[in-house]
Structure 1
Amino acid sequence: MSLKSEIFKSVDSIPIAYWNNLNCCTNIYYSPEFLKAFEIANTDIEFNYIFILKDEQAVAFANTQIVTIGIETITKNITMSNKVRRVVNNMFCNNHIRVLFCGNVFLSGEYGTFLKDNEDKVETFKAIAEGVKQLSKSVKKIKAIFIKDFENTSLSITNHLEAYDYAAMQVEPNMIITLKPEWHSFDDYKNALKSKYRVKANRADAKSEILKAQFFSEEDIQKHKNQLQELYHNTIDNADFNAQILNLDTYVHLKKAFKEKFIVKGYFLEDQLVGFLSAMQNRTHLDAHFIGIDYSNNKEFAIYPKILNDYVRLGIETKSDQINLGRTASEIKSTLGAEPMVLTCYGRHKQSLPNQVLKQFIKNVHIKSFKQHKPFK
């Protein structure tokens, strides 16, 4: 029986039987509750969900969003000649463009597609590519399509996208700390560090000692939502690239759905919220989500270093076996013992002729290098 795709515009319209067919919901990021939190809080984004069916049973799933991005947001932080930058900007009319993302635009990692076990992975993934193509044709004014983010172990499957005229490019890696089972406390972790990195961790805790930390309930998130959003915007403004700004109403819904598995921790200087971290415990992994920082107080009170230390603490306390610290600030994260996990995404212009230009551009994109520290003894 051939594979066919079915596209849904809301989580609520997806038959429960499809989720049961896939048996994917043990991973929180593929659960309808997780996806719905983003859908209902971010109304400026068009969400679509592609299911691949065989004999009327779901065998694969893809999560997509259609967002509007300024083309200069994409090109300004990529190393290229001014001539190439002008060509790319002109190709998109120096304007905002509608982009179809396959993969969760708010997560860094391989959380956008799910292939059921014991199915032909290549054929099933090709069916997803056909589903994305079908979706892109049905939506007006889409200029580009990006399918993200794949680990090296998946490339033997995902490289078949090149037959659909996509170009592959590496993006900033996720920074992963692997936790050892003998680390039962933050002191155990620090004892495994070389002296200068242990001093660095202690200094961050000492400088931030004046801060009062508090785990947020659903009500706390609602109460401080405007301050959280402002602090989050601060970090977005400092980022090299951000496809879309998250409405932190999402966090209210995530906390309601996932209780203690979804963590938001606020940092107060006297009565002023000056920072926060967020994280999701997904099976045996702790994944850092967005943070927010008051940069006017960051240097004096080591808010960001304190947040990084607390991610390690949370990983140990939740008995996780790894912490995903996400992208950006890779060198700083490596001082805590994080190692890079390479990620690849694929892009193409919707129209064939401009796509030949875009493919050459994508192939010449190089991610920024960084110094990888080795902090453990």
Structure 2
Amino acid sequence: MSSKIYYDISEVNAKEWAKSINPNNLFINYNFLSHFSKHQKELVHIYYLDGKNRFYANIFNINIRGLKGYSNYKLFKFIIKLFRFKFLYFTNSFLTNISSFEINQDFNSDKLVSSILEDKNADFIVLPDFLFEHTRNSVVDAKFHKIEVEEDMFLDIQSSWTNFESYINSLKTKYRKKIKLIFEKSSCLKIKQLTSSDLHNFKEEIQNLFNNVINENKFQGKKFNTSIFEDIILDYPNFKIFGYFLEDKLVAFSSEFANFDNHYSYFVGFDYGLNKKYAIYGRILCESINNAILGKKNKVVFGRTANEFKSNFGAMPKKSFVYLKVRNKFLAFILKNYIKNIKPKKWKQRNPFKNYKLKA
């Protein structure tokens, strides 16, 4: 089985890349990955052709100072504050809970990793659970640590929801009132689907709004360049960016995109100083749910942040794990026991629906 690794997408034959993938799979599509290569230049982009399999991965530096909140060990907290580490992550590092690969035959994860490390250096190797545990992975490396990370949040769209009103009617009184309050607070906001020209004109505002959100995250990697949206929406009509305006000022944006039966609510940015007064983030979630219902999708995928808040809207957690290997033997020895104790922060799951119980 022949294998080829490229670090420049211009060297990848588009027809050869597409030969073994579903053309409707956005996340492994050649043009989609080309836009990431063009706009996210601080990453090492890896395109791995392994027989009939296709893999996309990244290498990047990351500040994991926020990881100290996952552990009570003082030595662990001290070490991770000192360094920035280089990670090899085997999926799109900006879409960490989504499969940026297509698998059509057996593969050897150890071979995938070692082949890349012949050319590139990394301190940590990270494989998402949906790759490491894949039924066609022929190798399970015992040196990887299984680590629980923040849950992926999703909302199953019920067949009885034909519009947003029917969704609201399925909620308990307490949560219907919360939705009503969100719409009252955000009534002065104007919501507009942004064109490529709009994205260009509001380029700086969109980047700043996104940075407001990402700076709250525990893991500080390379900044996401939101100018990528200008190119993506031209190629993919299902990828939409919505602007939220207070008078003529852009105070928030959200991205929504469909892939097969799923509706993704992902990259967002908003003004934290205005969020409470105008219920901006709550309105973004409501709009995403409404658009998923109107688009007749089966599920809304919300991602991994603000889990407890999202559960007020019916979102459910899906346990998520990564498999981590520390390449430096000394560092691996020091961190071994501490890594095992890393746990995501606990939060309270809400059950807003009146006629059925949520199931994880």
TM-score of the superposed pair, with normalisation by structure 2: 0.92
Q: Which residue of 1 aligns with 2:72?
A: 80
Deviations 1:99-123 (A, max 9, x none): 211111101313133211xx33xxx
Which residue, 47, 50, 56 being the options, matches 2:48?
50
Amino acid in structure 2 at the alignment position of 1:107: L
Mapping for residues 293-308 of structure 1, pairs under 5 Å: 293-308=270-285
Which residue, 121, 127, 152 being the options, matches 1:147?
127
Q: Which residue of 2 aligns with 1:162?
A: 141
Residues 348/338 of structure 1: CA separation in 2 closer, same or farther (3 Å cut): same
Query: What's the offset of the Cα at 1:159?
Result: 9.7
Residues 353/240 of structure 1: CA separation in 2 closer, same or farther (3 Å cut): closer
Residues 150/110 of structure 1: CA separation in 2 closer, same or farther (3 Å cut): farther
Q: Which residue of 2 aligns with 1:250?
A: 228
Q: Which residue of 2 aligns with 1:9?
A: 7
Bigger proportion of residues as helix? 1
Mapping for residues 320-331 of structure 1, pairs under 5 Å: 320-331=297-308
- Once residues 266 and 250 of structure 1 are traced to their aligned partners in structure 2, the CA distance between those partners, rounded to angstroms, is 16
Choose 191-200 or 238-247, whichever is displaced more: 238-247
Q: Which residue of 2 aligns with 1:56?
A: none
Residues 78/157 of structure 1: CA separation in 2 closer, same or farther (3 Å cut): farther
- Once residues 131 and 6 of structure 2 are traced to their aligned partners in structure 1, the CA distance between those partners, rounded to angstroms, is 27
Misfit runs of 4+, over 6 Å: none
Q: Which residue of 1 aligns with 2:357?
A: none
| Count of equivalent residues | 354
Amino acid in structure 2 at the alignment position of 1:208: S
Amino acid in structure 2 at the alignment position of 1:334: S
What secondary structure is seen at the aligned counterpart in 1 of 2:314?
coil
- Once residues 280 and 307 of structure 2 are traced to their aligned partners in structure 1, the CA distance between those partners, rounded to angstroms, is 17
What secondary structure is seen at the aligned counterpart in 1 of 2:141?
helix
What secondary structure is seen at the aligned counterpart in 2 of 1:238?
coil
- Once residues 199 and 155 of structure 1 are traced to their aligned partners in structure 2, the CA distance between those partners, rounded to angstroms, is 43
Deviations 1:230-257 (A, max 9, x none): 0001111222324332101111111111
Percent of aligned positions that are identical? 27
1:367 pairs with 2:344 = yes
- Once residues 22 and 356 of structure 1 are traced to their aligned partners in structure 2, the CA distance between those partners, rounded to angstroms, is 41
- Once residues 134 and 147 of structure 2 are traced to their aligned partners in structure 1, the CA distance between those partners, rounded to angstroms, is 12
Q: Which residue of 2 aligns with 1:115?
A: 103
Work out whether residues 194 and 243 of structure 2, in 8 Å CA contact, stay in contact via their aligned partners in 1: yes
What secondary structure is seen at the aligned counterpart in 2 of 1:146?
strand
1:98 pairs with 2:86 = yes
Q: Which residue of 2 aligns with 1:189?
A: 167
Work out whether residues 105 and 244 of structure 1, in 8 Å CA contact, stay in contact via their aligned partners in 2: no
1:30 pairs with 2:32 = no
1:212 pairs with 2:190 = yes
1:352 pairs with 2:329 = yes
Query: Which runs of 5 or more structure 2 residues have no equivalent in the other structure?
Result: 355-360
Residues 267/95 of structure 1: CA separation in 2 closer, same or farther (3 Å cut): same
Q: Which residue of 2 aligns with 1:318?
A: 295
- Once residues 63 and 217 of structure 2 are traced to their aligned partners in structure 1, the CA distance between those partners, rounded to angstroms, is 15
Residues 41/20 of structure 1: CA separation in 2 closer, same or farther (3 Å cut): closer
What secondary structure is seen at the aligned counterpart in 2 of 1:371?
coil
- Once residues 100 and 262 of structure 2 are traced to their aligned partners in structure 1, the CA distance between those partners, rounded to angstroms, is 17
- Once residues 187 and 282 of structure 2 are traced to their aligned partners in structure 1, the CA distance between those partners, rounded to angstroms, is 12
Q: Which residue of 1 aligns with 2:358?
A: none
Deviations 1:111-166 (A, max 9, x none): 133211xx33xxx1x2x4312222123224x22121225389x4666694433x21
Deviations 1:158-196 (A, max 9, x none): 694433x21111111111100012211100100111111
- Once residues 116 and 131 of structure 2 are traced to their aligned partners in structure 1, the CA distance between those partners, rounded to angstroms, is 25
Residues 77/114 of structure 1: CA separation in 2 closer, same or farther (3 Å cut): farther
Residues 76/243 of structure 1: CA separation in 2 closer, same or farther (3 Å cut): same
Deviations 1:63-104 (A, max 9, x none): 11111122425x333232212322455xxxx22222211111
Residues 313/216 of structure 1: CA separation in 2 closer, same or farther (3 Å cut): same
1:136 pairs with 2:117 = yes
Query: Which runs of 5 or more structure 1 residues have no equivalent in the other structure?
Result: 54-58
Residues 88/220 of structure 1: CA separation in 2 closer, same or farther (3 Å cut): closer
